[in-house]
Structure 1
Amino acid sequence: MTDVSALDDYCNELFASLGRSDQRRWGEVYLRGLLTVPGRKSIRRISELVVGRDADQSLQQFVNQSPWEWAPVRRGLAEQVGRVLRPRAWVVREVVFPKNGDSSVGVARQYAPTAGRMLNCQRAMGVFLAGEHASSAVNWRLVLPRAWDDADDLRAKTRVPEHERSKPAWQYVLDSFDEMIGDWGLRPAPVVVDASSDPGVFPLLSGLDERRLPYLAQVSPATPALPVNLVGDTRRPRTVGQLAAAAAQRGRTTLSWRDGRTGASVGSEFVVAAMPGQPVAGDVRHGHPHPRARHIVAEWPTGAARPRAVWLTNLGAAGLRETVGLLRARARVEVDVNRLTEEFGLRHFEGRSFQGWHHHATLASAAHGYRLLCEAGGEALAEERLRPHA
């Protein structure tokens, strides 16, 4: 990112798919606003502080009504940040958008796993490319509650496309991966996902296995280790938590690493257990090799009666070091989610239309991605470069 303006270069590549010059210009203006406007980054404040005149209507049109496609912009973002981040994981993260009213697209009173309670909110599933020191959200799915399938008035008011219907969260995740791999041509990385509150964890894992994607999925310790009708002996462990506890009695492995933020040495004990009923290596069924066997990995604090967290993985029993690396990538995403939602305005949008929500989520992600690229390159954002052109 050199020449006249780093942001100019970034936007020229990012918005290359936008067919009109005015769309590309307003895209850059909006991005500048998300990067520089302090506090709440509303369209009005961006108009006042970036453009310096009344441009509300033009910005509103660009974000909410203009028919530009967000998928090519997201692909461009993924390509730009991917070249620098060199992602070691694709981390799936739910992001919750609390709402006071019911006029925004996809709003309902619903359970939000990351909040751990019922909220009046929008829910979205984001996919983050996570590297050693940073992560960037590159793809989004807005989760439509089931009640919205038949809410014709709300769907019309918020311009929800006819084909958009409620799905399980895991299906939104798989759809995102299909787009990223099939349409965008990205090279996949191991998937890290928190499914500890999702009863649909096995359809998700089966979908990842079918796509030959390695994964580390946090699950509830109460997750069944086998279907009930296959557990003949009632004394046999029935849950992944019980299997992890049995394996812990046979010994644990201590691993240590450097905290990416503080530099301090941290460590924890881990347990690995095989899932019962796994296929024989190299087994072929219906003409296709069976996916790699799943294992249980549990992090077990010293002296604790229960594990801190339990995961299912197809990385293999010898992949503990890689597991720790993936957990560090997930921790990095938690930092960047906070930056994205507050510092770059992801939640500072009413999100009333389906198209507007996706446009804003894409642009907020692009603003965050630009800042990450500057930080990775050791560049400081020069204020004069962020001012709009005269």
Structure 2
Amino acid sequence: MTPEELVAVRVELEAFAAEVFEPFARNDQRRWGQVYLRGLLTDGKRKSVEPMAARLGVDGNRQALANFITTSPWDPAHVRARLAWRMESEIRPKALIFDDTGFLKDGHASACVSRQYTGTAGKVTNCQVGVSLHLACDHASAAVNWRLFLPPAWDPASPKADPDKTPRRQRCGIPDDIGHVEKWQLALDMIDETRSWGIEVPLAIADAGYGDAAAFRLGLNARGLNYVVGISTTMTAQPGQAVPVTPPYGGTGRPPVPSYPDPAQPVKQLVIAAGPRAARPVQWREGSRPGTGRSGRKRMYSRFVALRIRPAGREIRQATDGPALPECWLLAEWPTGEPEPVQFWLSDLPADTPLTTLVRLAKLRWRIEHDYREMKQALGLAHFEGRTWGGWHHHVTLVSVAHAFCTLQRLALTPKDPAPA
């Protein structure tokens, strides 16, 4: 960039920060919020307080930055609400996307650190896990809400409480009313909070870590949200055309109730029974690698099977009025040359939803992986070295603000409505 362009970007950054940091009660918080934001956006691999302060020149007051991010009493929810309002108007989201990411740690003193599985490492390791909510459309996305997952070992009320971890809660500043909650419940809580800000998006997207939980899908239904969620191959269901039947009554004992004549089958078997000839080719977007697409990039293309099914399970039966299980879509990706399908999704979108729409919405989850990659590699999402609950929430919020600013800069250079496929 030329010096003039750099000045223009800095002016835009200051205006954006002033808008998002408007809830701050004090001028010094606004000042150090902008400085921290510039630190996240500077060149340099490490985005913890000390190396950022070293790169910020006259604004590089390490102590002031550390106090702002770890102990300053500002509520991150207020900043997230302002960020969500701005990004909703810019992105015009078609979906809320949920996922979680790991923050690898060497020590055990940081809030909520435990040995747990994270996809970041692909294994059980010592880490924190953050759950995030992103506003997303085909061409842009932004993380606007966060939760820090508290493992059972950190919850004094849990039978799995660790006597070495629970005493650290006070030192880490974990509020007394925070206990262990499943990640899918944290996602539902974020929906409720985001709605309280006036953000209404009618569709939820998540991977199988959330989609396998019937309570999560029922929670989305209760909130009036449709969903397209990943599921594992072991989920069981009845075929869409299956109907309950009532066995003959012999006249003694309790009358029989309607039930399905055949046991529910794993969803993988239902797709295999339909066969590879049921798969249809779908192109859902153009990727980033060179190829033959209209933009000169590689076309994202595969074959998919869509079936109407009735998911089974005790929670679903208990929530259903009448003997018939609710009908929904089962979407499976079955690439050419593969002996069996490789990925599965469940959706309660209407029965007349086109296959291309189902595929494009299911594949929209790539946006959250894109956001995580940018926030971790370029903006220091996992570089926070503090140990407190509040400090973690402050840091991830500021990283989300920095990422949103980068997104706005990109949107200013490209059309908001992508060319049709």
Q: Give TM-score, length-normalised by structure 1.
A: 0.86
CA RMSD across the alignment: 2.8
Q: Matched residues in 2 for 1:335 and 1:3: separation? A: 23
Structure 2 gaps of 5+ residues are: 1-7, 157-164, 239-256, 290-296, 313-318, 415-421
**Cα distance change on mapping 1:286 and 1:109 into 2, 3 Å:** closer
Q: Secondary structure at the match of 1:304?
A: coil
Q: CA deviation at 1:157?
A: 1.1
Q: Matched residues in 1 for 2:76 and 2:351: separation? A: 40
Q: CA deviation at 1:88?
A: 2.1
Q: Determine which of 129, 140, 160 is the counterpart of 1:134.
A: 140
Paired AA for residue 162 in structure 1: D
Matching residue of 1:159:
173
Q: Matched residues in 2 for 1:231 and 1:243: separation? A: 19
- Give the conservation status (yes or no) of the 8 Å contact 1:126–1:137: yes
- Give the conservation status (yes or no) of the 8 Å contact 1:275–1:296: yes
Q: Secondary structure at the match of 1:165?
A: coil
Alignment of 1:256-271 (within 5 A): 256-262=283-289, 263-271=297-305
Matching residue of 1:383:
none
Matching residue of 1:370:
405
Q: Matched residues in 2 for 1:365 and 1:267: separation? A: 31
Q: Matched residues in 1 for 2:133 and 2:31: separation? A: 27
- Give the conservation status (yes or no) of the 8 Å contact 2:131–2:147: yes
Q: Secondary structure at the match of 1:185?
A: coil
Matching residue of 1:63:
69
Q: CA deviation at 1:163?
A: 1.0
Paired AA for residue 170 in structure 2: A
Alignment of 1:186-205 (within 5 A): 186-195=199-208, 197=209, 201-205=213-217
Matching residue of 1:313:
347
Matching residue of 2:394:
359
Q: Matched residues in 2 for 1:345 and 1:153: separation? A: 29
Q: Secondary structure at the match of 1:256?
A: strand
Q: Determine which of 212, 216, 221 is the counterpart of 2:224.
A: 212
Paired AA for residue 24 in structure 1: R
**Cα distance change on mapping 1:33 and 1:54 into 2, 3 Å:** closer
Matching residue of 1:19:
25
Q: CA deviation at 1:115?
A: 4.0
CA shift digits 1:362-383 (9 cap, x unpaired): 000100110110111129xxxx
* Residue 307 of structure 2 corresponds to residue 273 of structure 1: yes
Paired AA for residue 125 in structure 1: V
CA shift digits 1:324-346 (9 cap, x unpaired): 22234222321221111120110
Matching residue of 2:82:
76
- Give the conservation status (yes or no) of the 8 Å contact 1:237–1:243: no
Deviates more, 1:184-193 or 1:251-260: 251-260
Structure 1 gaps of 5+ residues are: 279-284, 380-390
Q: CA deviation at 1:261?
A: 2.1
Q: Matched residues in 2 for 1:15 and 1:81: separation? A: 14
Q: Give TM-score, length-normalised by structure 2.
A: 0.80
Q: Matched residues in 1 for 2:61 and 2:12: separation? A: 24
Paired AA for residue 298 in structure 1: A
**Cα distance change on mapping 1:54 and 1:264 into 2, 3 Å:** closer
Q: Matched residues in 2 for 1:83 and 1:199: separation? A: 28
Matching residue of 1:85:
91
Q: CA deviation at 1:291?
A: 11
Alignment of 1:213-228 (within 5 A): 213-225=225-237
Q: CA deviation at 1:277?
A: 6.9
Q: Matched residues in 2 for 1:271 and 1:337: separation? A: 29
Q: Secondary structure at the match of 1:96?
A: strand
Q: Matched residues in 2 for 1:54 and 1:237: separation? A: 62
Matching residue of 1:253:
280
Q: Determine which of 94, 105, 108 is the counterpart of 1:102.
A: 108
Paired AA for residue 164 in structure 1: I
Matching residue of 1:387:
none
Alignment of 1:311-390 (within 5 A): 311-319=345-353, 320-378=355-413
Paired AA for residue 256 in structure 1: Q
Q: Matched residues in 2 for 1:321 and 1:154: separation? A: 50
Matching residue of 1:385:
none
CA shift digits 1:156-175 (9 cap, x unpaired): 11010011111111100000
Deviates more, 1:171-180 or 1:126-135: 126-135
Matching residue of 1:281:
none
Q: Matched residues in 2 for 1:99 and 1:291: separation? A: 44
Q: Matched residues in 1 for 2:303 and 2:16: separation? A: 43
Q: Which has the larger radius of gyration?
A: 2
Matching residue of 2:248:
none
Q: Matched residues in 2 for 1:38 and 1:129: separation? A: 28
**Cα distance change on mapping 1:230 and 1:142 into 2, 3 Å:** farther
Q: Secondary structure at the match of 1:191?
A: strand
Q: CA deviation at 1:11?
A: 0.7
Paired AA for residue 352 in structure 1: R
Matching residue of 2:331:
297
**Cα distance change on mapping 1:106 and 1:3 into 2, 3 Å:** closer
Paired AA for residue 382 in structure 2: R
Deviates more, 1:25-34 or 1:264-273: 264-273
